[in-house]
């Protein structure tokens, strides 16, 4: 009997404040047309003053647990993907654990926008090895806190939010079929935050070479998705849904084209949420499920790339 990590529940949370592109026009030298043309983004959510990444994560976690029909006490491992923690330490995951009352162990994963696929792969390893039976995996970010509001090419792209999934050990056809993780530190200067504990003792703000990131993203996202599918013994023709990192509608479209997958099989939420980094895939998963897009037995591919550069994919059968 082969243990698999089966998706039991999903949930998400978005801060109450919605920031339309029209409002961004009053904050920085930009236009609604410029933002939509280059990114596909129409609005995003910003956390309220005093609302922390852990607060978003806790709301999303509760929604996922409710969807799975289990209590927090049934969780024996908790992994949070984030690049915007409440504090340098302790981890956001332990804050969430304390609030929910989950058992076992909890820790954060930091792979920026690829964080959720890294966290899913990590949770999958715990389950298939028998070290955990139920893992709560969360992606949560407050990227509005690290924006350079004088850089109109980046500050209009990001938003805040959280998404969560419950993975449970089981057997049968459903579950995570394969994962693929990659990184290349030679490209670390393409996307980074210019501050840190041991360097500047400040938080810093996001810096991105957009054109270069775009070029790498299309190539590497298609490559990692196809590699993960090959590991699972599948091809792009077997995919029912691609659930990509929601960074930019043009990247999403180009990647789907490169894989030969039609856009009617791609979940797209970037227009409503902006780039929520590690939160974007579980957010998109939860929204798509709430809209009735998924059915048992379908094959999903989740793919993401972020600073590092770090990128990867997860193949999952519902």
In this prediction, residues 31-58 reach a mean pLDDT of 97
In this prediction, residues 7-36 reach a mean pLDDT of 96
What percent of the chain has a predicted confidence (pLDDT) above 70?
Answer: 100
In this prediction, residues 196-201 reach a mean pLDDT of 97
pLDDT at 2 over 90: no
How confident is the model at residue 210, as a pLDDT?
92
Average pLDDT over the chain, rounded to an integer: 97
Q: Which of 12, 45, 245, 273 is catalytic?
A: 245
The span from the CA of 48 to the CA of 113, in Å, is 22
pLDDT digits (tens, 9 = 90+) for 157-175: 999 999 999 999 999 999 9
What does the DSSP assignment read for the chain? Answer: ---EEEEEEEEEE--SEEEEHHHHHHHSS--HHHHHHHH---EEEEPPTT--HHHHHHHHHHHHHHHHT--GGG--EEEEE-SS-SSSSS-HHHHHHHHHT--SEEEEE--GGGHHHHHHHHHHHHHHTTS-SEEEEEEEEEGGGG--TT-TTTTTTB-EEEEEEEEEEE-SS-EEEEEEEEE-GGGGGGEEES--TTTTSS---EEE-HHHHHHHHHHHHHHHHHHHHHHTT--GGG-SEEEE--S-HHHHHHHHHHHT--GGGB---HHHH-B-GGGHHHHHHHHHHHTT---TT-EEEEEEEETTTEEEEEEEE-
45 is catalytic: no
How confident is the model at residue 22, as a pLDDT?
96
What percent of the chain has a predicted confidence (pLDDT) above 90?
Answer: 99
How confident is the model at residue 1, as a pLDDT?
64
pLDDT digits (tens, 9 = 90+) for 116-134: 999 999 999 999 999 999 9
How confident is the model at residue 9, as a pLDDT?
98
Q: Which of 21, 124, 248, 275 is catalytic?
A: 275
pLDDT digits (tens, 9 = 90+) for 272-290: 999 999 999 999 999 999 9
Which CATH number does the domain 4-170 belong to among 3.30.70.260, 3.40.47.10, 3.40.50.11720, 3.40.50.10490? Answer: 3.40.47.10
How confident is the model at residue 145, as a pLDDT?
98
Same fold, 4-170 and 175-317: yes
Q: Which of 113, 216, 248, 273 is catalytic?
A: 113
In this prediction, residues 202-210 reach a mean pLDDT of 96
155 is catalytic: no
In this prediction, residues 256-275 reach a mean pLDDT of 97
pTM: 0.98
How confident is the model at residue 61, as a pLDDT?
98
Determine contact, residues 43/166, Cβ cutoff 8 Å.
no
113 is catalytic: yes
Under the banding of pLDDT at 50, 70 and 90, the label for residue 294 is very high
Q: Which of 243, 231, 167, 226 is nearest to 4 (CA)?
A: 167
Q: Where are the domains of the chain?
A: 4-170, 175-317
How confident is the model at residue 89, as a pLDDT?
97
How confident is the model at residue 318, as a pLDDT?
98
Q: Which two tokens stand for residue 164?
A: 């969560």
Q: What CATH number is given for 175-317 in this structure?
A: 3.40.47.10
Q: What is the dihedral of CA 64, 255, 85, 307, to 10 degrees?
A: 160
Q: Which two tokens stand for residue 127?
A: 């389950």
How confident is the model at residue 10, as a pLDDT?
98
């Amino acid at each position: 009997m082969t243990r698999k990590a089966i998706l039991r529940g999903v949930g998400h949370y978005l801060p109450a404040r919605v920031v339309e592109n029209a409002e961004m026009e009053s904050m920085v030298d930009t236009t609604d047309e410029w933002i939509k043309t280059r990114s596909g983004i129409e609005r995003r959510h910003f956390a309220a003053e005093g609302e922390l990444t852990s607060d978003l994560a806790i709301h999303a976690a509760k929604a996922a647990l409710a969807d799975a029909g289990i209590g927090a006490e049934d969780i024996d491992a908790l992994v949070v993907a984030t690049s915007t923690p409440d504090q340098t330490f302790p981890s956001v995951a332990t804050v969430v654990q304390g609030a929910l009352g989950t058992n076992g162990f909890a820790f954060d994963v930091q792979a920026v926008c690829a964080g959720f696929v890294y966290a899913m792969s990590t949770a999958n390893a715990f389950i298939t090895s028998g070290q955990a039976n139920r893992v709560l995996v969360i992606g949560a970010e407050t990227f509005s806190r690290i924006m350079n509001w004088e850089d109109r090419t980046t500050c209009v792209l990001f938003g805040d939010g959280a998404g969560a999934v419950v993975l449970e050990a089981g057997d049968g056809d459903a579950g995570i079929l394969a994962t693929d993780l990659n990184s290349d530190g030679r490209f670390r200067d393409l996307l980074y935050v210019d501050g840190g504990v041991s360097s500047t003792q400040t938080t810093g703000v996001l810096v991105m070479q957009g054109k270069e990131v775009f070029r790498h993203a299309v190539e590497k996202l298609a490559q990692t998705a196809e590699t993960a599918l090959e590991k699972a013994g599948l091809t792009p023709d077997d995919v029912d849904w691609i659930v990509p990192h929601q960074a930019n509608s043009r990247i999403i479209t180009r990647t789907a084209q490169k894989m030969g997958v039609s856009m009617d099989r791609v979940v797209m939420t970037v227009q409503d949420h902006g780039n929520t980094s590690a939160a974007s895939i579980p957010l998109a998963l939860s929204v798509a499920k709430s809209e009735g897009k998924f059915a048992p037995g379908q094959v999903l591919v989740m793919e993401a790339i972020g600073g590092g550069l770090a990128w990867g994919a997860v193949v999952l059968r519902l």
